[in-house]
Structure 1
């Protein structure tokens, strides 16, 4: 949300770390956004790291695979539930 409000503008990593609790989670969330094909550029100035969300264009063809990964990683679903949610029409 912080990146979206500052679309096209560099955002210091400090506020992002506060919103995600730490550096590791910030990096993970940035990676997840990049997996959705969001164009996020990192830069550094005066010893600070910045993230810039360049635009809001995403590749919708990637969404089914991302949803499948979330289902596979779920601890709340049984194996049978996971299979029924992931099974392809041709199977």
Structure 2
């Protein structure tokens, strides 16, 4: 369903809740059910709005591609299967696009949660953008967590190193001696643009 359709459903649920709140004789259970329905419809409507507005994956694809180029340039002796950017999903693209559109603005965690309708994992996904070398600053003020993207430029070398190390360490079938050699190779390139 489109934003327009879900917006109409949310408006209807909110109007019903308003009617229930004005009714002094309303049953407490009916009022609770009206609230829950309005909450559910609003969450669905805003999630659809976010997807229709911010679902474009071009920016995150660009960053991932640039990191993979940096990985291959920095670590030519490492097998290609470890020189890939993995585990970044549509929700990461939504959050990146939302923060990019509000560059250097503090965005409340609650606002980010509207993007995915997920109150549990959305903030973690925002922090995971740091693994892409993006400077996402987290701050808490008055009990409210905020997120701010400070630049659209990623620290490619930092991301390349961190993600390559994660990929190597995540391979449970990699023999210990090879893992140690690959890790040492990656760490020997710190501070430079590549490894000789």
TM bracket (short chain): 0.5 to 0.7
| Structure-2 change in CA distance of 1:10 and 1:26 (3 Å) | same
Unaligned runs of 5+ in 2: 1-96, 168-196
Question: Distance in 1 between the 2:98 and 2:118 partners?
Answer: 15
Residue 12 in 1 paired to residue 113 in 2? no
Any idea what the Cα deviations from partners look like across 1:44-79, whole Å, max 9, x if unmatched? Answer: 12221100101111134546x86xx6xxxxxxxxxx
Say which of 58, 76, 83 aligns to 2:154: 58
Query: Among 108, 112, 129, which residue is 1:33 paired with?
Result: 129
Q: How many angstroms does 1:32 deviate by?
A: 2.6
Q: Which has the higher helix share?
A: 2
Q: State the TM-score, normalizing by the size of structure 2.
A: 0.31
Alignment coverage as a number of residue pairs: 73
CA radius of gyration, larger in:
2
Higher relative contact order (CA 8 A, sep 6+): 1
RMSD: 2.8
Secondary structure of 1:27's partner?
helix
Scaled by the length of structure 1, what TM-score is found? 0.60
Structure with a larger share of its residues in strand: 1
SS in 2 for 1:2: helix
Shift of 1:29: 1.5
Measured in 1, the distance between the counterparts of 2:123 and 2:101 equals: 19
What is the distance in 1 between the residues matched to 2:142 and 2:127? 24
1:39-54 aligned at under 5 Å gives the runs 39-54=135-150
